[in-house]
Amino acid sequence: MAPNKLGANNPLREAAMGFALGAVAGCMLGVTEDPVDKMVLAFTAAGHLKPVMDDVRTVGALGMGTLIGATSLTIAMTSVVAGVIMATAIASVFIATRNCGASFTDSVGLWASAGLAGAFGTTLSGATLGVAIDWTVKTYGMLGLLWVVSVFTMLKPPLHFAFKVLFKQGEACCTTASTDWEKERSQIEASEMQHRQRVTVQIEQRILQLETGSDVVTTDPRTAWATERRQREEIERKKTETKEAETKQRTVQDWINTVMVKYVDILAFSGLPMIAVTMVTSGFGVVGYGGHQSVLIVLLALVAVIAFLLLRSSDFKFWMLAGCMGMLATFVIAMLTLHAGQVVVTTAMKMRVGPAPSREKIMMRMNQQSSVEALNAAFFVAKLCQLGLGATVGGPLVRRATGEVKVIMGAALMALGLLVGVEALAPVLGEGGKAGALLGVVGTAGVSVGAAAALSGTWSTWPGTLATIAGLVIGALRMGKWHIVNIGLQVPVAYVFAMTNLF
């Protein structure tokens, strides 16, 4: 473990600081539990459940599970990535224009502006997608949603190409920083040249005085040489500071560009495996094989083949990992949806008391149970996705020594402010917009959780590490109303994503 300046190698101080910062991140994670649970209950009520139940008959349980899973994960990934892209764009412009001076890496304005842009971008994009999907389902049903999500996913690669072109043009427009560095180096070189010429003139004058035997000396030579030495040291100091600042700026700018490229790839390509699985299973459902065992075999084979091809790629990228994880999560949701319907059938067959339920009632109950399970699983998986992607942002920020307190406290405060704002704007957003915005809040909280998880590995003593993890878990459980299963799954996911070196 690398030493952390907060604890100053004092075990008690490290433990106290770690527990406090971990508790802040954990509390923010726990605070999001209740609002998200209420949204799940609202979406599993009769009004929102009816379109899902109607179309389960058309696409089958597996098709509906993959469709809802792919939709929820598309919202989660798109909103988080949109926030990251906005944050990196603001940070890139901030650094390119040198608004934060030589100490830009520690500038409050840089990280505050980037953090606010990322948090608002994630929440706003989530709310927008939520409103659009809610309107699509109410207007065209789940089959309309299938086509909308499919078209949206297919349009992402062309938009990715257009974005890369615009990004390169933006880099070309932001050449003012390099021009400024050239001007500053030229000024320093000019000052250094003037200093050398002045010293040369003084030396020549002194030599002439010694040759002519003149005793007329206007100033003390020792005073003059001391003044020139101070000026030379000042020039060398400015040259060193300029070089270090330019190196830091280029390093941070390169890192920001790398982050942006990787997350843009996620936005463009990570949804393709999920949509492929959804289209295949929905197609089987449309032709009447939505719940047949053979479809399950085809689905499993398709997932295995796509995952194998992506993971064995010679040019493995982060979007491939995200795409595989999203596809596997979609497969799990589909399995849970199918299993929920089968449980209803098994329960009906075991009923021995009273009249046997009719086939219509069993089918209605199957569709209802499958729809509820699909929505519950999709919301939980989307929340895990938001949390994990948020942690991939918070973890690297702490490991790059950008300030543990700034990242953890800043992300937690922004998430809390956004949560209050979403609750206040709930009548305007509607249930769909509120659901997407709440997922964006979870992503912002994930930045704080990921930063706390990364902080636990930077302490120089074990008490600091264990106290940080304990504060994170206890805070999440306490504010999350002791949802041990949910929190017990979310914290490890956030920890793994935060500690993974993606860049």
| Per-residue pLDDT tens digits of the chain, which is 503 residues long | 455 656 556 788 888 888 999 999 999 999 998 888 888 888 887 677 888 887 787 888 888 888 898 999 988 888 888 888 888 888 877 776 654 444 444 466 777 788 888 888 888 998 999 899 988 888 888 888 888 888 888 888 888 777 777 766 666 655 545 555 566 666 766 776 776 777 676 676 666 766 676 655 555 666 666 776 777 777 777 777 777 777 777 777 777 777 788 888 888 888 889 888 888 888 887 777 766 667 788 888 888 999 888 888 877 788 888 888 889 999 889 888 888 877 777 777 666 555 656 677 777 888 788 888 888 898 899 999 999 988 988 888 888 766 788 888 888 999 999 999 998 888 888 888 888 899 889 999 999 999 999 888 888 788 888 999 999 999 999 888 888 888 888 989 988 888 877 66
Taking the C-alpha atoms of residue 6 and residue 403, their distance in angstroms, rounded to an integer, is 10
Sign of CA dihedral 372, 72, 276, 308: negative
Residue 473: predicted pLDDT = 92
Q: Does the predicted TM-score (pTM) go above 0.85?
A: no
Neighbours of 179 (CB within 10 A): 9
Task: Map residue 352 onto helix, strand or coil.
Answer: coil
Sign of CA dihedral 180, 185, 188, 194: negative
Residue 347: predicted pLDDT = 73
Tokens of 186: 């030229």
Give the list of residues 6+ apart from residue 143 with CB closer than 8 angstroms, or none. 55, 58, 59
Whether 21 and 7 have beta carbons less than 8 Å apart is answered as no
How far, in Å, are 71, 76, 77, 154 from residue 382 at the CA level? 9, 6, 8, 21
Taking the C-alpha atoms of residue 348 and residue 246, their distance in angstroms, rounded to an integer, is 72
Residue 117: predicted pLDDT = 87
Residue carrying the six token digits 């390119």 = 96
Whether 24 and 475 have beta carbons less than 8 Å apart is answered as yes
**In one letter, which amino acid is 196?**
R
Residue carrying the six token digits 């320093």 = 188
Whether 370 and 52 have beta carbons less than 8 Å apart is answered as no
